[in-house]
Structure 1
Amino acid sequence: MTSPANVISPDLIPDALYPTINALCATSIDVAAIIARAGLGQSLAAQVGENSDGDGQKALDVLADDMFEAALRGGDVRWYASEEQEDALLTSEGGKYALAIDPLDGSSNIDVNVSIGTIFSIFDTKEGAEESFLRPASEQICGGYILYGPATCLVVTFGNGTQQYVLDPSKGEFVLVEKAMEVPETSKEFAINASNYRHWTKPVRTYIDDCLAGKDGPRGMDFNMRWVGSLVAETHRILTRGGIFLYPGDARPGYENGRLRMVYECAPIAFIIEQAKGHATDGETPILERQAATLHGRVPLVFGSAQKVQRVADHHDLSE
């Protein structure tokens, strides 16, 4: 790895992890620049194939994956696991970390100019690739995402609170703007894909029915529904405004465990949210108590304001 110039303030970043975080941020600046030119060159939303799990890959999915992998080769990352690749790659024999990444989350929104992002998780490495990632999510030493929107932001935790850095485009540097983000407890927003209502389990339907009943229902207030289809955008809104996000398992074949991957999406998002005093579960069990059985294994995800997430778990308890 050729060390890039420092593009992020070292505030609150552990010294040992700084080169890796700096490399991710330097690459994200290039990715953000490509996204900003969407429509002026190649079609970034063009489907160019499928990943190992059968999901369509956009041109930018593949391009971003190549860029992040190249940036981390020869550095402190021994194992590189990507949502876009079937197996983890050995990127540095002497590396001390294992990094899992969703290079471009929300890529289905590229052509409509909605916020998309990069999600990553870091573990201390073990000898083998799979054992480095298939372990309790609580063993992460870093979880973060980079949001490509009106502002380019890094939100990250190292297990001591959740911080936010914002890219200053005039300097090409990420600047620390929040030292301790907290998920607001009070919010009247929930996020779920309501078109799948008929497929949900009873506890999930009951929770949403209570929200839809508004001020005349058991919750005693009116709610607004949000659904962007970009996990990073949904997470950033909840960190900023509170609320709850649900991507449950449902009755459709292949959706028993939802569609979000434990290693690349659920584990790092859960780490970020929990460190911001929110809560993240699979509907019942905290995500940080779970571990994936395979690199691309999926798990239901419910996260947001702690009391709201607990209410979903209570509905599951009552249905047993």
Structure 2
Amino acid sequence: MDYSLTLDAYLGGATPSLGQGSSVATVITCLASAAVELSELIAAGPLSGIDGRDSGTNSGGDRQIDIDVEANRLMCAALRKGPVAAIVSEETELPEILDSGAGLCVAIDPLDGSANLANNISVGTIFSIRRRSRDALSTFFEPGTAQQAAGCFIYGPQTTLVLALEHSVDIFILDRRSREFVLIRRGVRIPSDTAEFAINMSNRRHWNAAVDAYIDHCLLGASGEYGEDFNMRWIGSLVAEAYRILMRGGVFLYPADARRNYHEGRLRLLYEAHPMALIMEWAGGAASTGRDRILDLSARMPHQRAPLIMGSARAVRDLNLLHQGVQPLYESSKAPLFARRGLFL
């Protein structure tokens, strides 16, 4: 492949339906510019004055460190330069209205997995882009199918951009000499039959029977129903897990479980589950809660949580089938979460 097509050229000419001056392309360009700066900060670590100092807690009560705050500043400053009506960020409690008449709304996790930086593990920025509906705030409460584009920047041995746009998933790498992202893979498709799963096994005693049964099938290996030995992976970094699935296949599970505050899962719907689901589906895979397709869900709060099972379509299908015979962990009331019944509730 000719590694000469830059992200700017791709957005301006390689995707004709977007066209020059597209607002979606402009927002992606703004985010890419901020990602270059953030990548350099992460690579320098304490040499840049970023040393993991505690900066309080974020909107969901998770520990926040100095790089989280700086990542949020960089990404939001970049988005203010684009045609963005409103932002929902993991690092801020309330949505921020920028230009209520602008055409797009963005949900973003500025630095997913920042705690892993202490161990030199890949982290990333996850984003979701939507067309503004009747007003900026109501846009965020539409189903995941309303997303126009989504993606993630991964800060690891290389800095890469996984971009779901125009029903295709393409991958770019940052050329540090030119400070530009360059296309390296087009039309990524998730391998369908990889015998690999990713889950935090230390939580097994809290799982529901469906997840437990699936992992049992995998652990039986060649003597079990799947007829082959499985590998287990667990990085603890959502962007790294997603990238491995895109390259190698398999399935990732962060299910709801019986622990306090985990009945609805732990990942955030708007800026983690929704964009990851779009990436997975447009790469030929699937994403589910175990009961519902992630892209069919609508949030009722900006920082709504959700279970996430993603990866090869076959594995996600098998997990959905297993969940059909399992009692939900919690029954929803008259106002069901996500305006639907049966989301592990």
State if a TM-score over 0.5 links the two structures: yes
Amino acid at match of 2:207: W
Query: Shift of residue 93 of structure 1?
Result: 4.1
User: For 1:9, what is the secondary structure of its paired residue?
Assistant: helix
Does residue 142 in structure 1 map to residue 149 in structure 2?
yes
State which drifts further: 170-179 or 133-142.
Answer: 170-179
- Name 2:300's counterpart in structure 1: 293
Query: Shift of residue 43 of structure 1?
Result: 4.0
Q: Would the alpha carbon gap of residues 311 and 30 (structure 1) be closer, same or farther in structure 2, given more than 3 Å must change?
A: same
What is the aligned-residue identity percentage?
A: 42
- Name 1:116's counterpart in structure 2: 123
- Name 1:232's counterpart in structure 2: 239
Amino acid at match of 2:8: I
Query: Shift of residue 220 of structure 1?
Result: 1.5
Aligned partners of 1:280 and 1:131: how far apart in 2?
A: 24
- Name 2:15's counterpart in structure 1: 12
Amino acid at match of 1:149: G
Aligned partners of 2:305 and 2:312: how far apart in 1?
A: 22
Q: Deviations over 1:280-303 (max 9, x none)?
A: 001121111111111101110000
Unaligned runs of 5+ in 2: 1-5, 328-345
1:206-285 correspondence runs (5 A): 206-285=213-292
Amino acid at match of 1:12: T
- Name 2:190's counterpart in structure 1: 183
Q: What is the aligned residue count? A: 315
Query: Shift of residue 258 of structure 1?
Result: 1.2
Instruction: Decide whether the 8 Å contact of 1:7 with 1:172 is kept in 2.
Output: no
Aligned partners of 2:263 and 2:182: how far apart in 1?
A: 41
Amino acid at match of 2:66: A
Alignment equivalent of 2:135, drawn from 128, 133, 150:
128
- Name 1:200's counterpart in structure 2: 207
Amino acid at match of 1:9: A
Q: Deviations over 1:142-186 (max 9, x none)?
A: 111011111111111124211111111121111111220000112
Unaligned runs of 5+ in 1: 1-5
State which drifts further: 80-89 or 92-101.
Answer: 92-101
- Name 1:50's counterpart in structure 2: 57
Q: Deviations over 1:87-137 (max 9, x none)?
A: 111122442100000000011101111000000001111343431101110
Amino acid at match of 1:243: G
Aligned partners of 1:129 and 1:103: how far apart in 2?
A: 20
Q: Would the alpha carbon gap of residues 168 and 283 (structure 1) be closer, same or farther in structure 2, given more than 3 Å must change?
A: same
- Name 1:307's counterpart in structure 2: 314
Query: Shift of residue 8 of structure 1?
Result: 3.5
Q: TM-score, normalization: structure 2?
A: 0.88
Amino acid at match of 1:115: S
Amino acid at match of 1:55: D
Amino acid at match of 1:23: C
Instruction: Decide whether the 8 Å contact of 1:44 with 1:110 is kept in 2.
Output: no
- Name 1:3's counterpart in structure 2: none
Instruction: Decide whether the 8 Å contact of 1:74 with 1:91 is kept in 2.
Output: no
- Name 1:38's counterpart in structure 2: 45
- Name 2:92's counterpart in structure 1: 85
Query: Shift of residue 273 of structure 1?
Result: 0.5
Aligned partners of 1:217 and 1:75: how far apart in 2?
A: 53
Q: TM-score, normalization: structure 1?
A: 0.95
State which drifts further: 238-247 or 287-296.
Answer: 287-296
Instruction: Decide whether the 8 Å contact of 1:75 with 1:92 is kept in 2.
Output: no
Amino acid at match of 2:245: I
Amino acid at match of 1:196: N
Instruction: Decide whether the 8 Å contact of 1:8 with 1:25 is kept in 2.
Output: no
- Name 1:64's counterpart in structure 2: 71
